[in-house]
């Protein structure tokens, strides 16, 4: 049974799965389960994706507006029908926030099945706007447009210092060696078209997701037992504010699926 009780940090979670566990590993030997839920907008008014006015003044406006395209803000993308928040990152960490041992990984998920993860920029916006990948995967940056873009990517100087490379029309850039960083994302930009921004997060495990058009997410074959769920969005940061960087305790049910219901993201 789901509960719609709003917790102090804006979470809407099922009371059956939010438990006050002490520090312990997020695992029960050789047992696994699934986690799903939905991130919903917690503000008073649903934000609208307004057209970016500076596009009309760009020398490349014809390429950006090709086929009647309108470049709109992606600061917050909220489904007006169900308040689902798109492009939010959701992931699991060990319940022991002080010791932080690595999460056990399901045998079927240890090997990378996809070597390259793609981001494109066909109409003066990054597609997707938010992208998650696993350490060891390459970032394949495409430019399907008929104009040049430059890709500037910037993370924490100690982990993902980044770079800045011009990608010609129909060009491709293969970025290798991105490092998992639980605290700092990698921002992508185009300096030629300064309204273009996107977000990348790199993980050292497979237990992450990016919310879809309805704000929904699902993480499969996670280690059973107590762990923490973290939510971060590029414009608003951690769900729950600064304290949200440590996530919220949940319990992954062995052999089943934990449905967290709706988690309210207050701007």
Question: pLDDT > 90: what percent of the chain?
Answer: 84
Domains of the chain plus CATH, in order, are 1-46+83-106+206-267 (2.60.40.10), 111-205 (2.60.40.420)
Range from 12-21, 44-53, 68-77, 160-169 carrying the lowest mean pLDDT: 12-21
Q: Residue 19 has what pLDDT?
A: 39
pLDDT at residue 165 is higher than 80: yes
pLDDT at residue 10 is higher than 80: no
Let me know: does 176 contact 117? Beta carbons within 8 Å.
Answer: no
pLDDT at residue 7 is higher than 80: no
Using the CB atoms, write b or e for 214-245: b if 16+ within 10 Å: bbbbebbbbbbbbbbbbbbbbebebbbeeebb
CA-based nearest residue to 35, from 83, 92, 108: 92
- State how far the Cα of 186 lies from the Cα of 61, in Å rounded to an integer: 27
Q: Residue 30 has what pLDDT?
A: 79
The CB density around residue 9, as the number of other CB atoms within 10 Å, is 15
CA-based nearest residue to 263, from 95, 77, 41: 41
Beta-strand runs (E) in the chain: 32-41, 77-78, 85-86, 89-94, 116-119, 130-134, 138-142, 149-154, 163-167, 172-175, 186-189, 197-203, 208-210, 216-223, 225-233, 237-238, 248-252, 257-265
Let me know: does 64 contact 55? Beta carbons within 8 Å.
Answer: yes
2 to 15, 137, 197, 258: CA distances (angstroms)? 7, 37, 36, 11
Q: What is the DSSP string of 133-180?
A: EETT-EEEEE--SSS-EEEEEE--TTT---EEEEE-TT-EEEE-----
Q: Residue 109 has what pLDDT?
A: 97
Let me know: does 236 contact 87? Beta carbons within 8 Å.
Answer: no
pLDDT tens profile 62-96: 999 999 999 999 999 999 999 999 999 999 999 98
Let me know: does 267 contact 76? Beta carbons within 8 Å.
Answer: yes
pLDDT at residue 117 is higher than 90: yes
Which helix (H) or strand (E) element contains residue 64?
Answer: helix 61-64
Q: How does residue 28 score in pLDDT terms, banded at 50, 70 and 90?
A: low
Compute the mean pLDDT over every residue in the chain, rounded to the nearest whole number: 90
pTM of the model: 0.89
User: In the predicted model, what is the mean pLDDT of residues 107-120?
Assistant: 97
110 to 104, 205, 219, 221, 244: CA distances (angstroms)? 9, 8, 15, 11, 28
Q: How does residue 26 score in pLDDT terms, banded at 50, 70 and 90?
A: low
């Amino acid at each position: 049974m789901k509960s719609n009780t709003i917790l102090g940090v804006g979470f809407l979670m099922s009371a059956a799965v939010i438990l006050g566990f002490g520090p312990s590993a997020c695992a029960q030997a050789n047992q696994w389960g699934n986690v799903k839920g939905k991130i919903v907008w917690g503000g008073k008014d649903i934000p609208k994706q307004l057209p970016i006015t500076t596009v009309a003044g760009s020398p490349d406006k014809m390429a950006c507006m090709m086929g009647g395209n309108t470049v709109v803000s992606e600061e917050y993308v909220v489904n007006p029908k169900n308040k689902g928040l798109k492009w939010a990152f959701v992931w699991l960490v060990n319940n022991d926030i002080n010791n932080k041992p690595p999460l056990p990984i399901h045998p079927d998920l240890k090997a990378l099945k996809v070597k390259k993860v793609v981001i494109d920029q066909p109409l003066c916006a990054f597609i997707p706007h938010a992208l998650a990948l696993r350490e060891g995967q390459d970032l394949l940056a495409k430019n399907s447009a008929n104009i040049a873009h430059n890709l500037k990517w910037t993370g924490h100087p100690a982990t993902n210092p980044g770079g800045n490379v011009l990608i010609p029309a129909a060009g491709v850039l293969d970025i290798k060696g991105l490092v998992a960083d639980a605290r700092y994302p990698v921002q992508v930009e185009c300096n030629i078209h300064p309204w273009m921004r996107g977000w990348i997060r790199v993980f050292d495990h497979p237990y992450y997701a990016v919310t879809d058009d309805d704000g929904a997410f699902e993480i499969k074959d996670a280690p059973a037992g107590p762990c923490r769920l973290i939510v971060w969005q590029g414009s608003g940061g951690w769900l729950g504010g600064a304290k949200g960087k440590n996530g919220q305790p949940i319990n992954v049910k062995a052999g089943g699926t934990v449905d967290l219901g709706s988690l309210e993201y207050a701007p």
